[in-house]
C-alpha cells in the first residue's frame, strides 16, 4: 500500500474537539479542513483514560464506547490515512486475561500470555540473577517487576517494563501471537493504514542481555511487519535510542521516527549553529516520520552518546539545551520534568514545543519549516498545531509531567486558536508541504558559512529552504522558501507568514 506523502495530525480523540471520534472528524472537515493527509489517532481503546492515557488497554480490540466505535474510525479512514497504536509489549492488569491468571494461577488458560521474572531469569543463583537484571536497559524509574498474589497461595513477580498496571506479555508464545493477530484483524477491518508499534524495542527478553532491541527483537518486528503488510497495512517502529540504532532499524522495517530532529532543531535555533543538524540530515533515514512534538516529552537520549558511541551532540550541549528550554518556559518545564512530577520517562523534557522556543512565533514557524523540509513524512501534534501554551492547570490537577503538553481543546477553543497569526502561518506551511511535487523527489542538505539549505528536486520541480545564521539577532535571521512548480516560481520569507 502507499501512504500519502503529506502532513499528518497526531491527536487524542477526547482532547481535540468535543470528546469523540465523530467530533474530531467534524473538525477535520470544518476548522481543520484540507490540512492533513493522515491522522495518528492516539489510543482510543477501552479504557482511553487509564493510568497511562490509553497505553494500558484492558481490551485492545474494543473502541471505548465513550469515544465511539470501529465504524467511526472506519468513517474517518475514508478521507485520511489512519495510524493506530499496536501496544505490543504489555496489557492492563485489569484485563480479563490477567484477572483470570490472578484467580487461577498456573492453571489459567492465559498463564503463558504473561511474562514472569522466572520465565527469563531461571538461574537458581540469586547473585547471578541480580547481575543479569543489572544489565537490563530501563526506560523508566519504576521497578522491573511487580509482585502479584495468584490463586490465593503464591506471590509471583511479573515483568512490568513501564508501570505495575502494564503487565508484559510473551509475544513469542502462541497466545501472544494470537493476541497481536486479533488486534491486527480489528485494524484491517476498520480502514487503519499504519500501525505504530509502541514499545516494540522491549518486547523480547533474554537473560544476560540488556533486553532492548536484540537481534531477536529485529526478527520479531520484521515478522510482525510482514503480517501487517499481508493485511494491507504498514508499520512504524517507535524507539527512543542512539541515532545509529535508528539507522539500523530503518534498514529493516517499513518506517521509523526521526526522534533526533526535535532536539537538534532546538539546538540549532538556540545556538545559531546548524552543523549538527546538517550532519544528521545527511545520514538520517529517509523512510521516516518526522515530529517536533508528540504526546510524550521532548526526547534527549536520541542525540546523546551510548557507551563508547558518540552522540549527535556533546553532553555539554545537551545540558545547555535542556537549561535553555527551562529558561524559555519560565521554569514551567522544570516543574513537569524529572523528580518534580510523577514522571515515567527518564530521558525527556516535558514542555510544549512552542514554550520551549519562548513562544517566539518566528522561531516556531522556522522550526516547522525545517521539519517539513527534512526527509520523511511530517506529523504535527494537536497542541503544536494550535501553538498551545503549557497547561499548568492540568499539570497541577494531575501531577503527571506529560500532561503539561496534553491539553483539552474544545471545538470552540480550536475555532478561536486558528485565528492566531502563528497558527495561520503554520497552516500555510502545511499546505505548501502538501502541494509541492518537489517533496516526492530527492533530498540534499548543505551548510556553508552559516547558510543552511534544505533542497528537494523532482523532475524539474524544486523546493528549497534557505536559512542565513550570520546575524547575531535571531529575530533578524533571513529565512526563505523558494518553490518551482513547472513554469511557476515563487519565494516566501518565513517572516511573511506572520502577516
User: What pLDDT digit, counting tens, does each position of 305-320 carry?
Assistant: 988 999 999 999 999 9
Q: Is 227 annotated as a binding residue?
A: no
Q: How far apart are the C-alpha atoms of 50 and 69, rounded to whole Å? A: 18
Distance of alpha carbon 189 from the chain centroid = 24
Mean pLDDT throughout 234-257? 92
* Most confident listed range (1-5, 15-19, 249-253, 486-490): 15-19
Which residues are tagged catalytic?
Answer: 198, 238
Q: Is 234 annotated as a binding residue?
A: no
Confidence tier at 340 by pLDDT (50, 70, 90): low
Q: What is the pLDDT of residues 64-90, one digit of tens each?
A: 999 999 999 999 999 999 999 999 999
Q: Which three cell numbers stand for residue 39?
A: 491522522
Confidence tier at 345 by pLDDT (50, 70, 90): low
Q: Is 248 annotated as a binding residue?
A: no
Q: Where are the domains of the chain?
A: 8-88+174-439, 96-167, 441-498
Least-confidence region, from 5-19, 103-117, 298-312, 435-449: 298-312
Torsion angle, CA of 409/410/416/421, rounded to 10 degrees?
Answer: 30
Q: How far apart are the C-alpha atoms of 213 and 306, rounded to whole Å? A: 14
Q: Which three cell numbers stand for residue 77?
A: 479512514
Least-confidence region, from 34-48, 62-76, 274-288, 336-350: 336-350
DSSP at 475:
G
| Percentage of residues in the chain having pLDDT higher than 70 | 97
DSSP at 137:
-
- Number of Cβ within 10 Å of residue 103's Cβ equals 12
Q: Does 8-88+174-439 carry CATH code 3.90.550.10?
A: no
Q: Is 348 annotated as a binding residue?
A: yes
Angle of helix 215-230 relative to helix 174-188, nearest 10 degrees, comes to 40
Confidence tier at 472 by pLDDT (50, 70, 90): low
Contact 434, 342 (CB under 8 A): no
Q: Which three cell numbers stand for residue 126?
A: 540469586
Confidence tier at 476 by pLDDT (50, 70, 90): low
Q: Report the DSSP pairing between strands 154-159 and 488-493.
A: unpaired
Q: What is the pLDDT of residues 145-192, one digit of tens each?
A: 999 999 888 999 999 999 999 999 999 999 999 999 999 999 999 999
Task: Inform me whether the pLDDT recorded for 124 exceeds 70.
Answer: no
Q: What is the pLDDT of residues 388-413, one digit of tens each?
A: 999 999 999 999 999 999 999 999 99
Least-confidence region, from 253-257, 343-347, 456-460: 343-347
Give the pLDDT score at 482: 95
Mean pLDDT throughout 268-283? 96
Q: Is 90 annotated as a binding residue?
A: yes
Task: Inform me whether the pLDDT recorded for 19 exceeds 80.
Answer: yes
Contact 257, 289 (CB under 8 A): yes
Question: What value does the CA radius of gyration of the chain take, rounded to a whole number of Å?
Answer: 23
Mean pLDDT throughout 131-141? 85
Task: Inform me whether the pLDDT recorded for 346 exceeds 60.
Answer: no
Task: Inform me whether the pLDDT recorded for 122 exceeds 90.
Answer: no
Give the pLDDT score at 142: 78
Residue 116 to residues 160, 168, 344, Cα–Cα distance (Å): 9, 8, 22
Mean pLDDT throughout 252-256? 92
Which CATH number is 96-167's, of 3.90.400.10, 3.50.50.60, 1.10.1740.10, 1.10.10.10? 3.90.400.10
DSSP at 65:
T
**Average per-residue pLDDT for the chain:** 93
Task: Inform me whether the pLDDT recorded for 469 exceeds 80.
Answer: yes
Amino acid at each position: 500500500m502507499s501512504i500519502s506523502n503529506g502532513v499528518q495530525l497526531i491527536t487524542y480523540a477526547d482532547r481535540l474537539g468535543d470528546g469523540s471520534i465523530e467530533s474530531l472528524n467534524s473538525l477535520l472537515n470544518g476548522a481543520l479542513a484540507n490540512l492533513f493527509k493522515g491522522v495518528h489517532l492516539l489510543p482510543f481503546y477501552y479504557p482511553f483514560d487509564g493510568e497511562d492515557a490509553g497505553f494500558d488497554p484492558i481490551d485492545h480490540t474494543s473502541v471505548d464506547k465513550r469515544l465511539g466505535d470501529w465504524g467511526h474510525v472506519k468513517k474517518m479512514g475514508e478521507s485520511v490515512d489512519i495510524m493506530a497504536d499496536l501496544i505490543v509489549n504489555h496489557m492492563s492488569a485489569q484485563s480479563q486475561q490477567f484477572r483470570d491468571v490472578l484467580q487461577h494461577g498456573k492453571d489459567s488458560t492465559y498463564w503463558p500470555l504473561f511474562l514472569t521474572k522466572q520465565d527469563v531469569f531461571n538461574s537458581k543463583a540469586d547473585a547471578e540473577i541480580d547481575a543479569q537484571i543489572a544489565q537490563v536497559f530501563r526506560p523508566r524509574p519504576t521497578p522491573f517487576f511487580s509482585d502479584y498474589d495468584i490463586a490465593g497461595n503464591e506471590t509471583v513477580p511479573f515483568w512490568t517494563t513501564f508501570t505495575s498496571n502494564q503487565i508484559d506479555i510473551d509475544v513469542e508464545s502462541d497466545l501472544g501471537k494470537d493476541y497481536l493477530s486479533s488486534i491486527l484483524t480489528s485494524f484491517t477491518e476498520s480502514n487503519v493504514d499504519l500501525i505504530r508499534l509502541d514499545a516494540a524495542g522491549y518486547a523480547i527478553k533474554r537473560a544476560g542481555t540488556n533486553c532492548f532491541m536484540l537481534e531477536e527483537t529485529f526478527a520479531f518486528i520484521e515478522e510482525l511487519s510482514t503480517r501487517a503488510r499481508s493485511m494491507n497495512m504498514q508499520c512504524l517502529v517507535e524507539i527512543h535510542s542512539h541515532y545509529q540504532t535508528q539507522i539500523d532499524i530503518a534498514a529493516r522495517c517499513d518506517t521509523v521516527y526521526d526522534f533526533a530532529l526535535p532536539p537538534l532543531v532546538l539546538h540549532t535555533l538556540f545556538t545559531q549553529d546548524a552543523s549538527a543538524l546538517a550532519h544528521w540530515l545527511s545520514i538520517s533515514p529517509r523512510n521516516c516520520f518526522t515530529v517536533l512534538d508528540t504526546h510524550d516529552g521532548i526526547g534527549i537520549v536520541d542525540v546523546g552518546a551510548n557507551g563508547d558511541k558518540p552522540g549527535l551532540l556533546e553532553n555539554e550541549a545537551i545540558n545547555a539545551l535542556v537549561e535553555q528550554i527551562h529558561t524559555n518556559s519560565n521554569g514551567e518545564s522544570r516543574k513537569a520534568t524529572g523528580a518534580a512530577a510523577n514522571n515515567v520517562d527518564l530521558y525527556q523534557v516535558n514542555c510544549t514545543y512552542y514554550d520551549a522556543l519562548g513562544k517566539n512565533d518566528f522561531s516556531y514557524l522556522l522550526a516547522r519549516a525545517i521539519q517539513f523540509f527534512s526527509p520523511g513524512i511530517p506529523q504535527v501534534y494537536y497542541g503544536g498545531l494550535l501553538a498551545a501554551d503549557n497547561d499548568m492547570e492540568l499539570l497541577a490537577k494531575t501531577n503527571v509531567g506529560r500532561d503539561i503538553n496534553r491539553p483539552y481543546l474544545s471545538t470552540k477553543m480550536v475555532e478561536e486558536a486558528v485565528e492566531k497569526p502563528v497558527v495561520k502561518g503554520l497552516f500555510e506551511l502545511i499546505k505548501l508541504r502538501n502541494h509541492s511535487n518537489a517533496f516526492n523527489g530527492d533530498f540534499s542538505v548543505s551548510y556553508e558559512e552559516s547558510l543552511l539549505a534544505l533542497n528537494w528536486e523532482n523532475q524539474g520541480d524544486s523546493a528549497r529552504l534557505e536559512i542565513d545564521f550570520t546575524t547575531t539577532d535571531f529575530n533578524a535571521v533571513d529565512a526563505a522558501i523558494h518553490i518551482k512548480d513547472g513554469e511557476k516560481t515563487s519565494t516566501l520569507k518565513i517572516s511573511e507568514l506572520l502577516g
